[in-house]
Structure 1
Amino acid sequence: MPRKVLEQAVVEQAAQTAARRAGRYRWAICGLLFAATAINYVDRQMIGVLKPVLQADLGWSEREYADIVFWFQCAYALGFLAMGRFIDAVGARLGYAVAFTFWTLAHAAHGLVGSVSQFVMVRFALGVGEAGNFPAGLKVVADWFPQRERAFAIGLFNAGANVGAIATPLIVPAITLAYGWRAAFIATGLASLIWVAAWLAIYRRPEEHRRVSPEELAYIRSDPAQPTQHPTLGRLPWGRLFAVRQTWAYAIPKFCIDPIWWMFLFWLPDFLGKRYGLDLKSFGPPLVVIYLMSDLGSVAGGWISSRLIARGWSVNSARKLTLLGCALAVMPVMTVQSVDNLWLAVLLIGLATAGHQAFSANILTLPSDLFPRAAVGSVVGIGGTAGAIGGMLIAQFVGTVLQLTGSYALIFMVAGCAYLVALVALHLISPRLTPTGELAS
């Protein structure tokens, strides 16, 4: 056996032994992130589920609905920049609580408004607050998990998005049919404030948490020491992050793939209604199947690359091979507009959303793979802004295409190609996924 392979096997055996001996409290923290992300997605997806009801009640056109989505994305783009920096400055515990409270109150306020301009205002506030979820969550993962577990942990907490997407078409129609759409916004908003109390009561950094054993803390901190400074850029001040290639290795793929997820989130109920005649009472089961498949993709995508790293693959090879498989899984969605059978269409869309979530779980590891912990929130914020700008563009694109043609064919063609484009861009920008601290070595 070659010496390098033997050394990798010894290191991995030692890591597995350390993991078994260490405690597992870090996974409870991951559970909190999962719950927050599920609530985050209930709040943002509700407008998509209620689109037919809102359009009928308030008389929105396709363009007006697209404008409301556009301004949410605009706020999300601006909010990501601000929230990423804010969370790096004040820490994940306080930063997450502030962001969660702000977006929850904005979500509940949807039940108090009626015009397009008023919906734009509350969606804008929702976008600013929701932008804090992923910078905070990824910063927590970087702080609580060694590199070999991060993709899996991110896949788990990112799976909360799909649970939220599953819960929305099951819970919201029932509340809406019984009490109206305004009550649905207010009730789901106020109920979710319980999470803030749990977060403030439970969360501390690993070194400060009484439930973390010395063995688990040693395992969490088992990666090689991270540099606190970039060899040529110093302490990576926020503005100068834009000069680092690794920032763009994260931001450009986010710009490519995030808009596709937004399209699914905000327009999928509408597609199922127009193409297959489903309504508020009947599109729940297809959406549940689609987002269950997404959940499996999120967890599997993180598990596969983490497993490959555990078997001795480089981070670069493990991440990119997994990303390639995910990109290929999305491509069949290009044919879905021509599929007459509802459940075959559901499977094709579910495969695409699973591919997205698996792809996303690996892309979301890049800030912690490539940057010191102190910069993770800021880099996540920059990438999130890039993704939200893409979301702004896709909102206008989808609204225009539907207004002019009434067909989703071109929209699904764009969706099917986006992930290969993202992977090619990532590889061109960072062929070896070199961390910032190694650039001068």
Structure 2
Amino acid sequence: MAAPHVVGPADAHDTGTNPPRTARAWAVTAMVVALMVINFADKAVLGLAAAPIRKEFGLSASEYGAIASSFYLLFSLSAVVVGFLSNRVRTTWILAGLAVLWSLTALPVLLAASVPALYASRIALGAAEGPTAPMAVHAVHKWFPEHARSVPTALVNMGGAVGLAVATPTLVYFITHHGWRSAFVVLAAAGLVWFAAWAFIGREGPLDTYGAGLRGTAHGEARAEPHVSYRRLFLNGTWLGTLAVGIGAYWALALSVAWLPTYLEGALGYSAAEAGNLLIVPHVVSAAVLLAVPWLSGRWMRRGASGRLARGVAGGAVAIAAGLCMLALPHADGGLAVLLMTLAFGLPSAVFPLNFLLGAQVLPVRRRGSVLATSTALVTLAGIAAPAVTGLILDAAGSPDAGFQGAFGVCAALLLAGGALAALTVDPEREARRFGLTS
């Protein structure tokens, strides 16, 4: 792999008032977005292949839900471990290693398809993908200063929604015409192709301290960062608020990936092909929301709004709106049900880039990777519970309609509570002052 970029004398002109924003920065961003596309396609493949997999192995809803949840068994742990590793190892190398690892996780399914092989493949894939999102954002933030991060951060997170939108019809085609195993082959090959391209394009960004790139900050001054204990970084209102709203949003994401195809087919009566087409809609809305909300929040802040209002309150309001749509969803049918489903599962995605931007506002760079990864690890614990809890609710219910009503009610409660807490407690400017990062 090409050597990562290191700040040296040639970068002396990259001061706080003229930060590095080159073609390389956008090339790295584009590659990271592509990585997130593959990342979320990997997450979605099991849900898209749920019907043939359950039929082949005779799985109940609970048994399938347990396999889907196993993806998150090591997801959080690996995110924390790699996050702390990123304090010492370049994110360029970390992302390359993760891409190779998750491509190799398809081998158990391809060599000997069985229920244990499915468990092994999903657990290994989760371990390889757990650190990807925080490491991707951390890598991009090393290329863009605070006032210019909204769009690249949104693009990185939008890669997930694009991945689901692109992967859904593509993988459904392969599953339908070539068997469900073919979808795993396609995704493994995509990861290896990405790795080959990253070897030529990937570089480490030069903005390696909190003050680097801040408007009006001298280059030398930007090199100094205060020491802030992990206890203070974790135990404050902003971090706790983003954690709460993130859990609700991720529960919705995990629920949609594992069970939305089943909901459309079992509860609303669509065919597999029709369900595959309908699933594109919330993913497209999610992609639009992922780009628009952070961009609007950044523009709002450049006009004088606080991060508390433009990111904390805005993120909480989006989660609350999604929760209300989720509550209404089981009581609708036809076009209204599709509209409510689109909003309920499309809107929460905006929470993720806003949370990453809030983290960058209050975290020293030397500890940003580890804290973002730990936050992601805790948020994604919802991914362990959501598919399995939903399977249990469905098995216990008298009908698919009743089961999904209960499952959507649980998700709605988490979105409403998390959104309210975020709106009340998130205040990045307060935390940055308390940590000595700003005056």
Which residue of structure 1 aligns with residue 309 of structure 2? 317
The answer to whether the Cα contact below 8 Å between 1:84 and 1:136 also exists between their aligned partners in 2 is yes
Rounded Cα–Cα distance in structure 1 between residues aligned with 2:393 and 2:184? 29
Which residue of structure 2 aligns with residue 139 of structure 1? 138
Which residue of structure 2 aligns with residue 91 of structure 1? 90
Rounded Cα–Cα distance in structure 1 between residues aligned with 2:26 and 2:166? 22
Q: How many residues align?
A: 410
Question: Cα–Cα, structure 1 residues 229 and 52, in superposed 2: closer, same or farther, change >3 Å?
Answer: same
Q: Is 1:110–2:103 an aligned residue pair?
A: no
Partner amino acid, structure 1, of 2:81: A
Partner amino acid, structure 1, of 2:63: E
User: What's the CA shift for 1:219?
Assistant: 9.2
Which residue of structure 2 aligns with residue 416 of structure 1? 412
Partner amino acid, structure 2, of 1:196: F
Q: Is 1:257–2:249 an aligned residue pair?
A: yes
Deviations 1:330-375 (Å, cap 9, x if unpaired)? 122211122220x322221211233111122211222211101121
Question: Cα–Cα, structure 1 residues 183 and 45, in superposed 2: closer, same or farther, change >3 Å?
Answer: same
Question: Cα–Cα, structure 1 residues 82 and 279, in superposed 2: closer, same or farther, change >3 Å?
Answer: farther
Rounded Cα–Cα distance in structure 1 between residues aligned with 2:23 and 2:342? 32
Rounded Cα–Cα distance in structure 2 between residues aligned with 1:109 and 1:221? 48
The answer to whether the Cα contact below 8 Å between 1:99 and 1:130 also exists between their aligned partners in 2 is yes
Q: Is 1:289–2:288 an aligned residue pair?
A: no
The answer to whether the Cα contact below 8 Å between 1:22 and 1:219 also exists between their aligned partners in 2 is no
Stretch moving more, 199-208 or 168-177 = 199-208
The answer to whether the Cα contact below 8 Å between 2:212 and 2:223 also exists between their aligned partners in 1 is no
Aligned counterpart for 2:354 among listed residues 362, 383, 402: 362
Question: Cα–Cα, structure 1 residues 207 and 73, in superposed 2: closer, same or farther, change >3 Å?
Answer: closer
The percentage of counterpart residues that share the same residue type is 24
Question: Cα–Cα, structure 1 residues 344 and 27, in superposed 2: closer, same or farther, change >3 Å?
Answer: farther
The answer to whether the Cα contact below 8 Å between 2:137 and 2:156 also exists between their aligned partners in 1 is no
The answer to whether the Cα contact below 8 Å between 1:151 and 1:365 also exists between their aligned partners in 2 is yes
Question: Cα–Cα, structure 1 residues 226 and 295, in superposed 2: closer, same or farther, change >3 Å?
Answer: farther
Rounded Cα–Cα distance in structure 2 between residues aligned with 1:120 and 1:437? 46
Question: Where do residues 187-198 of structure 1 align in structure 2 (5 Å cutoff)?
Answer: 187-198=186-197
Q: Is 1:338–2:331 an aligned residue pair?
A: yes
The answer to whether the Cα contact below 8 Å between 1:58 and 1:114 also exists between their aligned partners in 2 is no
The answer to whether the Cα contact below 8 Å between 1:333 and 1:348 also exists between their aligned partners in 2 is yes
Which residue of structure 1 aligns with residue 225 of structure 2? 228
Q: Is 1:119–2:115 an aligned residue pair?
A: no
Rounded Cα–Cα distance in structure 1 between residues aligned with 2:308 and 2:364? 17
Partner amino acid, structure 1, of 2:59: W
Which residue of structure 1 aligns with residue 4 of structure 2? none
Question: Cα–Cα, structure 1 residues 367 and 110, in superposed 2: closer, same or farther, change >3 Å?
Answer: farther
Which residue of structure 1 aligns with residue 155 of structure 2? 156
Rounded Cα–Cα distance in structure 2 between residues aligned with 1:366 and 1:207? 21
Which residue of structure 1 aligns with residue 170 of structure 2? 171
User: What's the CA shift for 1:308?
Assistant: 0.7
User: What's the CA shift for 1:418?
Assistant: 2.5
Rounded Cα–Cα distance in structure 2 between residues aligned with 1:302 and 1:229? 28
User: What's the CA shift for 1:383?
Assistant: 1.1
The answer to whether the Cα contact below 8 Å between 2:242 and 2:426 also exists between their aligned partners in 1 is no
Aligned counterpart for 1:306 among listed residues 298, 309, 314: 298
TM-score (norm 2): 0.85
| Equivalent position SS for 2:113 | coil
User: What's the CA shift for 1:433?
Assistant: 4.7
The answer to whether the Cα contact below 8 Å between 2:21 and 2:143 also exists between their aligned partners in 1 is no
CA RMSD of the aligned region, Å? 2.7
Partner amino acid, structure 2, of 1:172: L
User: What's the CA shift for 1:56?
Assistant: 0.8
Question: Cα–Cα, structure 1 residues 428 and 314, in superposed 2: closer, same or farther, change >3 Å?
Answer: closer
Rounded Cα–Cα distance in structure 1 between residues aligned with 2:216 and 2:88? 24
Which residue of structure 2 aligns with residue 4 of structure 1? none
| Equivalent position SS for 1:282 | helix
| Equivalent position SS for 2:274 | coil
Rounded Cα–Cα distance in structure 1 between residues aligned with 2:195 and 2:266? 38
Rounded Cα–Cα distance in structure 2 between residues aligned with 1:384 and 1:92? 16
Question: Cα–Cα, structure 1 residues 142 and 240, in superposed 2: closer, same or farther, change >3 Å?
Answer: same
Partner amino acid, structure 2, of 1:434: R
Which residue of structure 2 aligns with residue 426 of structure 1? 422
Structure 1 portions without partners, runs of 5+: 1-16, 209-217
Partner amino acid, structure 2, of 1:206: G
User: What's the CA shift for 1:430?
Assistant: 4.3
Which residue of structure 1 aligns with residue 65 of structure 2? 66
Rounded Cα–Cα distance in structure 2 between residues aligned with 1:354 and 1:108? 32
